[in-house]
Amino acid sequence: MTAPHTSDGDLSFVAEALPAFISEAQEQLASMEQLLLRLEDTPDDRDLLDALFRCAHTVKGSAGIFGLEPVVAFTHHVETLLDLLREGHVVLTPALSTLLLRCNDTIGHLVTQADDTPGDCAHRAALIAELQTYSGASTPAVAAAAPALPAAAPGIRRWHIRARFGSDTFRNGMDPLAIVRYLDRLGTVAQAMCDTTAIPALDQIEPESCYLQVTLTLQTDAGRDAIEGAFSFVRDDCQLQIDAEPTATAIAATIAAAPPVTATTAPPAKPRETPPEDGRFIRVQADRLDTVINLLGELVIAGAGASLLSRQARNSPLVEVHQQITRLIEEIRNGTLQLRMVPIGETFARFRRVVRDTASELEKDVALEIVGGETELDKSVVERIADPLMHLVRNALDHGLETPAERIALGKPAQGRLTLSACHESGSILIRIDDDGRGVRRDKVLARAWERGLVERGTIPADADILKLLFAPGFSTAEAVTNLSGRGVGMDVVKRNIEALRGTVAIHSTEGAGSRIEIRLPLTLAIIDGFLVGVEGSKFIFPLDAVVEVIESRPTATPLDPRGRSVVELRGQVLPVLSLRKLYALDSPAPERSSVVVIQSGGQRYGVMVDQLLGQHQTVIKPLGRMFRSLRGMSGSSILGNGEVALIFDVASLSLLAAEQHDSPTRTTGDAGSRIQNPSTERQTP
Amino acid sequence: MEPILALPAELTIYNATELCQRWLDWLQDLPADSTTCILDARHVAEVDGAGLQMLAALRSALQERGLAAQLVAPQKALSDACHSLGLQHLLEGTNTPVEHAA
């Protein structure tokens, strides 16, 4: 179990385990990056420095098993310097931090790239030379050791030795005591324990047989060979096990050598020196989880169908059983969806590096603040929001924040602030990007919009509408287009991507004081709690989180306008209401009794007039078919227990739709209207 | 008076068999009402693994009979050997400080 992977068995092990290694190494490198960035604020935090060293050490150790020599050789230099850092021989300066970040990137590159070009080698050699400059500038003694090669720098290590001596040991003239004393001269025996349980009772003992079993901890700079040498005369009938302290390297070597080891010398399960997190997580392939969630969606629909049938059959025991099943399905649903929830902090943390590098490239000084990183949302949403966020962050750095000189001239602190925050708000997640930069200059935006023909020259839209122009296709306000935040083609793409996630994006800005971009996203794309309502024969679903209350219908203050809008009085306040019957042209007479569902969307409330209240409904979100893509105010569809299709409202766009000027009422109804009037029992193919 | 067992100058493989027999005899002759005994280690000057193994067996035999044994006056040779091999518990009950021979 000394030399890593030489046999065929080991090679196949290596091939199988390599993807896992790459993935883990990337995680370690990501941690290193985060640690380095955190260390910039507290350069002498010993815990962080230790953690940093361990990460590098783990990467190096694991790479060793897989024979990734370039990784091992390069990481060794980094590790050497990190060791000096944590010992306090070298101080972490911003320049050194930059160097280590570059080294981190290089290791990442080496891990993923199997081939090695001469250019890469030269790049690495340059980095190594820089690293050695720092190592060399420390204490002379360490400096001498620093440039040494990996094989020549094992230093003092701790070894765990376990020996069960053969019964003939004494008769062969050997003595365990003498062996231990010899080992004590090789290094220091830090701990010795003798297991005497195998010694028989005095009346049964064979005094010349050896029953001793010794466990030792030895600190020595001698190698395994030297330690084994101490046992050479008893080796034949002694069960001997020698393990280096379970550093990552040792663990890795043990794994690599495991298959060919025979039963007698196989190491027993040893507690591994891994962070506690490892025990608390299980890696699951995302598509397996998706399969479960899809099946769960089907189960929810089937459960609703069974529940409905039992109610129709008026069989109360059956209804009761179904109620219980429904409750359980709901719990499973919540639990399963929870599995896909990940904190957004990981995505936010990635921006630390982006901000750092981008700011230095633009010669700006920016402090990034992250708030609410623990806010969770669906993994698929997190993955798809990363790119739009990246664009917005870069945009803020490039266009929003000023250079230190400009800021000082404006009486602002030299260091700009960029805040990324996240929080939950009525069933959705709200992500904000705030900066205290120059804000959006309306006059420039308007001039550009006139120039581009986005707005008729001379007209001045409302303030909020001017800001919306930023998201118009082909818009850019930067006089000099930089290579950072793109060429103005990004913002409309950002908006489209966010809307594809059933989200919204809005910008608020005060000239001279900064901007705030708000992104609102649904927590999940799969299943939600819905509130089912009926209008005529059609069923609609509101996300339950958006429903504030339900009130009995009351006379409207004004007759409904052609888009079905009016206002009612609620507890002394005016509440705008919207008649679905009118909006979607469901031509049937209004029933005697109706209700108003009060919806909260963003900062505003409005009521929706409906015929029937059908209660809470577990809603499996299915995408709208191609025919209904153009249907506005809707975010998806769902299949009810009886096979009927219900449309799910997007409360934000419904409110916008209701607020729009009365210009093209047919646009929203059209062929969708007839479909809504005839709820089909056929299931829509997603 | 407590029964006393004087340990020999040599606790090694060379006299292990003989010691075993001698100690068994001594245990046999112990008064039935004894609850404690003394292991006098002052003469022990040479120890090896086999000797320590015998001492461990003796300790267990005494414990099995419900006898609290007190090891007195162990010299450096014995205490060093016990520590080296991780058998410190054999020295337990020592009431005399270890006298380190120069």
**B63, closest residue in chain A (CA to CA):** A201
The whole-number average pLDDT for the span A461-478 is 75
Task: Quickly count helices (H) and strands (E) in chain B.
Answer: 3, 5
**Residue ranges of E strands in A273-387:** 341-343, 366-371, 376-378
pLDDT in tens, A195-226: 888 898 888 899 999 999 999 988 888 888 88
- Which chain A residues have a beta carbon less than 8 Å from that of B52? 177
- The pLDDT value given to residue A102: 87
The whole-number average pLDDT for the span A314-322 is 89
Measured CA to CA in angstroms, residue A27 lies from A137, A346, A375, A567 at distances of 31, 11, 21, 55
Measured CA to CA, the distance from residue A299 to residue A526 in angstroms comes to: 13
- Which chain B residues have a beta carbon less than 8 Å from that of A170? 13, 16, 49-50
Chain B contact for A203, CB < 8 A?
A: yes
- The pLDDT value given to residue B52: 94
- The pLDDT value given to residue A117: 64
pLDDT bin (cut points 50, 70, 90) of residue B64 is confident
- The pLDDT value given to residue A434: 93
Going by their DSSP bridges, the two strands A645-649 and A538-543 should be labelled as: parallel
> In chain A, which among 168-197 make CB contacts under 8 A with chain B?
169-170, 175-178, 180-181, 184, 189, 191-194, 196
pLDDT in tens, A262-308: 333 334 443 434 444 444 677 777 788 888 888 888 888 888 888 88
- The pLDDT value given to residue A264: 37
pLDDT bin (cut points 50, 70, 90) of residue A551 is confident
Going by their DSSP bridges, the two strands B4-6 and B36-40 should be labelled as: parallel
Q: Which of the 8 DSSP states describes residue A262?
A: -
**Cβ atoms A212, A241 nearer than 8 A:** no
Least Cα distance to A256 among A15, A61, A25, A13 occurs for A13
Q: Pick the range with the lowest mean pLDDT from A40-44, A46-50, A405-409, A483-487.
A: A483-487
Select the residue from B10, B11, B13 to test the A interface by mutation, using most A Cβ atoms within 10 A: B13
Structure token pair of residue A37: 């960035």
- The pLDDT value given to residue A516: 93
**A184, closest residue in chain B (CA to CA):** B84
**Cβ atoms A433, A418 nearer than 8 A:** yes
Angle, in degrees to the nearest 10, between helices A248-257 and A8-39: 160
Measured CA to CA, the distance from residue A116 to residue A95 in angstroms comes to: 27
Residue among A177, A191, A216 whose CB faces B81 most closely:
A177
- The pLDDT value given to residue A517: 92
Is A214 within 8 Å of B84 when comparing Cβ atoms?
A: no
Work out the number of other CB atoms within 10 angstroms of the CB of residue A297: 21
Structure token pair of residue B14: 């060379």
What SS3 string covers A519-586?
EEEECCCCEEEEEEEEECCEEEEEEHHHEEEEEECCCCCCCCCCCCEEEEEECCEEEEEEEHHHHCCC
pLDDT in tens, A488-520: 446 777 888 887 787 888 899 888 889 999 998
Measured CA to CA, the distance from residue A518 to residue A432 in angstroms comes to: 5
Measured CA to CA, the distance from residue A315 to residue B72 in angstroms comes to: 87
- The pLDDT value given to residue A277: 45
User: How many Cβ pairs within 8 Å bridge chains A and B?
Assistant: 84
pLDDT bin (cut points 50, 70, 90) of residue A341 is confident
Which ipTM value was assigned to this complex?
0.91
Measured CA to CA in angstroms, residue A498 lies from A19, A247, A417 at distances of 32, 45, 24
Question: What is the distance between the terminal CA atoms of chain B, rounded to a whole angstrom?
Answer: 33
pLDDT exceeds 90 at position B55: yes
Is B20 within 8 Å of A200 when comparing Cβ atoms?
A: no
CA–centroid distance for A322 within its chain: 37
Measured CA to CA, the distance from residue A371 to residue A416 in angstroms comes to: 17
- Which chain A residues have a beta carbon less than 8 Å from that of B16? 170, 207-208
Is B17 within 8 Å of A203 when comparing Cβ atoms?
A: no
Percent of chain A scoring above 70 in pLDDT: 81
pLDDT in tens, B17-45: 999 999 999 998 888 888 888 899 999 99
Select the residue from B84, B88, B90, B92 to test the A interface by mutation, using most A Cβ atoms within 10 A: B84
**Cβ atoms A352, A34 nearer than 8 A:** yes
Chain B residues touching chain A at CB-CB below 8 Å: 13, 16-17, 19-20, 23-24, 27, 47-50, 52-54, 56-58, 60-61, 64, 81, 83-87
Is A202 within 8 Å of B60 when comparing Cβ atoms?
A: yes
Is A175 within 8 Å of B13 when comparing Cβ atoms?
A: yes
**Tokens 């939600």 label which residue?**
A528
Ramachandran area for residue A135 (φ above 0: left; ψ -120 to 50: alpha; else beta): alpha
**B87, closest residue in chain A (CA to CA):** A194
Q: How far is B95 from chain A (nearest CA, A)?
A: 23
Structure token pair of residue A663: 């210009």
Summary mean pLDDT of chain A: 77
- The pLDDT value given to residue B25: 92
Q: How far is A192 from chain B (nearest CA, A)?
A: 4
3-state secondary structure of A234: coil
**Tokens 């927590």 label which residue?**
A523
Query: Which of residues A577 and A671 earns the better pLDDT score?
Result: A577
Measured CA to CA, the distance from residue B61 to residue B5 in angstroms comes to: 13
pTM of the predicted structure, to 2 decimals = 0.49
Give A196's Cβ-side CA count (13 Å radius). 23
Looking at residue A577, its amino acid is V
Angle, in degrees to the nearest 10, between helices A316-339 and A286-312: 160
pLDDT bin (cut points 50, 70, 90) of residue A386 is confident
Work out the number of other CB atoms within 10 angstroms of the CB of residue A597: 24
pLDDT in tens, A575-625: 888 888 887 777 777 777 788 899 887 677 888 888 888 888 878 887 777
- Which chain B residues have a beta carbon less than 8 Å from that of A214? 85-86
3-state secondary structure of A395: helix
Give A564's Cβ-side CA count (13 Å radius). 24
Residue among A199, A201, A208 whose CB faces B17 most closely:
A208
- Which chain A residues have a beta carbon less than 8 Å from that of B83? 192
| Contacting residues for A181 by C-beta, under 8 A, at least 6 apart | B84
Bridge partner residues of A636 (DSSP): A648
Measured CA to CA, the distance from residue A81 to residue A102 in angstroms comes to: 14
Burial-class residue B85 by CB neighbours within 10 Å (0-12, 13-18, 19+): buried
Measured CA to CA, the distance from residue A521 to residue A135 in angstroms comes to: 48
- The pLDDT value given to residue A558: 77
- The pLDDT value given to residue A114: 55
Q: Pick the range with the lowest mean pLDDT from A100-104, A269-273, A441-445.
A: A269-273
pLDDT bin (cut points 50, 70, 90) of residue A658 is low
pLDDT exceeds 90 at position A247: no
Structure token pair of residue A28: 């370690």
